[in-house]
Every structure is written in structure tokens, then in C-alpha cells.
Amino acid sequence: MSVLKILIADDEAPARNRMRDLLTDIENVAVVAEAKNGKEAIDLAQQTKPDLLLLDIRMPLMDGIEAAQHAQKLEPKPHIIFTTAFDAYAVKAFDLNAIDYLLKPIRLDRLQTAINKAHALKPKQLDALRPLQKIRTHLSIHERGRVLLVPVETIIYLRAELKYITVRTAEREYLVEESLTHLETEFGERFIRLHRNCLVAPQFISGYEKRLNQDNEQQWVAILKGIPETIAISRRQQHLVRES
């Protein structure tokens, strides 16, 4: 029987220690990494390629449920077991979707059973958990076999291209396969729609200017902080310029 590689994610050191202690009593497992939050878990998972993620639900920066969603893009896709001390809503959601979870303090025999039957989550099951957390803190981007996590607060604009969405931060561009409408509903508080195909974070807009476009027509554009590109504003959204 091959050794099951495990990654532990919990923001509390004593909880991680306890989990490691318990795992020493279980055969054929090895702890390959320990993470303090969901983001660290995803980053470490790419380096260590664990077979199983033990994810605490309440963690700063990125919680366990969001981490589990991003983990669906990892290759190979790890099994996931959630751990929680007390999250009434979460536990209810797990019960409904028959997702494996362990209640802290964790008992050795429960852990053993869960590991024996460790199975991968289906994305559908994870979607059902979405209401728990309002909005994602990061977008996960698949790039050359790696998963990159882009913090939502660093995104300047999201622009719909033919098949993809361009995600622009001060450093660079990323491509992500999602729908702009979906992103607008999720992050509506953070971005405004300046154009049919573009959502912009208002705090990165430094001003507005009238410029000539390719068809030699006058058009308002938004000037952005930190990057040279400008975003054309559609006629319908021009009231935003006046209001600013």
C-alpha cells in the first residue's frame, strides 16, 4: 500500500500539532506540508503534490472552502476533508452534500475512517457550499500547469475577450475562463461596468479624458493608476463621468 501524502491547513499552531500527533498513530500516511491559511495551502500543494488536504474552515486570508474550490484546478486533484470546531451552517451544508468533515477536537478513529474512505469532491458539491462565503478573496488562474492565485483587491480591471477574461493587475495580465456576468454578480461591490465588456475597480481610476477613437469620434476614456492603458467608456455609462 502506497503512502498517502497529506497537507494540513489550520491557522492555529496547536491545532496543526494535534493533527500531526494523531497522524503519527495512523499507518501509511505522511505529512508533506503545513499551511497557515488557504492561500498557503494551495501554494504548498503545488510544490508537494499531496493526495489529501485537511482544511480548517475558518482561516484568515482565504478560508478552507474557497481553498477547496481553487484546489479543483490542481493536478493531480487532491482529496479534501474539512475540519472545523464549530460552524453550524457549514456542518449543515456538509451533511446535505455528504462531504467529509471532522469536528474538532478530532478523534483518532474518526480520522482513520475518513482517511480510509478519502474521496475527491465533485465540483457540483462544492458549488452547493458557495453561499457560506459571500465572495472569493482570490481568483485562481491556470497557467502552464500551475495554479496562480491573484488577490481580488489587486485587480485593476476585468475585460471580456473572445473566449477568456483578461485580468489586469499592476504587474501583468492573466487569462481566466469565467463569465463577466458571473464575475459582476460576485464582485459587484468592488467593480463598476464602464463598458459592455469591461469591469473596473474605481479606486484605480485616476481621472477621465475625452479622446478620439479609431472611427475619429470623440469618446470618454478612464485613465488608470499605475498602468498606461485606458478604458473606453460606453455612451450608456457616461453619467459616471459626470458624477465623478
Partner 1 sequence: MRKNSRLPNLHNLGIHLRILLIVNLLAVMAAILLSNQLNEFFPLLAQLSALVQPILLLSMLGLYGLYPILKQLKYWQGIIAIVVLEIAFISLVYLFINRLFAFDSTTEIYRAYLLTAIVTGIVLYYFYLQERAYSPAIAEARLQALQARIRPHFLFNSINAVLSLIRSQPKRAETALEDMADLFRVLMSENRDLVPLAQEIGLCHQYLDLEKLRLEDRLKISWQIDDMPSDAIIPPLILQPLLENAVYHGIEPMPEGGEIIVKIYTKHKELHIIINNPYASQSNHHTGNKMALKNIKERLKLHFDLESSVKTEAKNNRYEVHIRIPFGI
Site string for partner 1, 34-73 (x = CB under 8 A): --xx--------------------x-xx-x--x-------
Among 3, 48, 75, 86, binds partner 1 (CB under 8 A): 86
Closer of 203 and 206 to partner 1 (Cβ) = 203
Whole-angstrom distance, CA of residue 119 vs CA of residue 205: 46
Contact flag: residue 145 with partner 1 (CB under 8 A) = no
- Angle CA 42–43–46, to nearest 5: 85
Contact flag: residue 15 with partner 1 (CB under 8 A) = yes
Among 23, 33, 99, 106, binds partner 1 (CB under 8 A): 106
Query: Quick check: 206 and 223 in contact, CB under 8 A?
Result: yes
Contacts (CB under 8 A) with partner 1, residues 162-181: none
Among 3, 30, 108, 135, binds partner 1 (CB under 8 A): 135
In whole angstroms, the minimum distance from the beta carbon of 118 to partner 1 comes to 21
In whole angstroms, the minimum distance from the beta carbon of 137 to partner 1 comes to 6
Contact flag: residue 21 with partner 1 (CB under 8 A) = yes
Closer of 11 and 51 to partner 1 (Cβ) = 11
- Where on the chain is the footprint of partner 1 (CB under 8 A)? 11-15, 17-18, 21, 36-37, 58, 60-61, 63, 66, 85-87, 103-106, 133-135, 137, 153
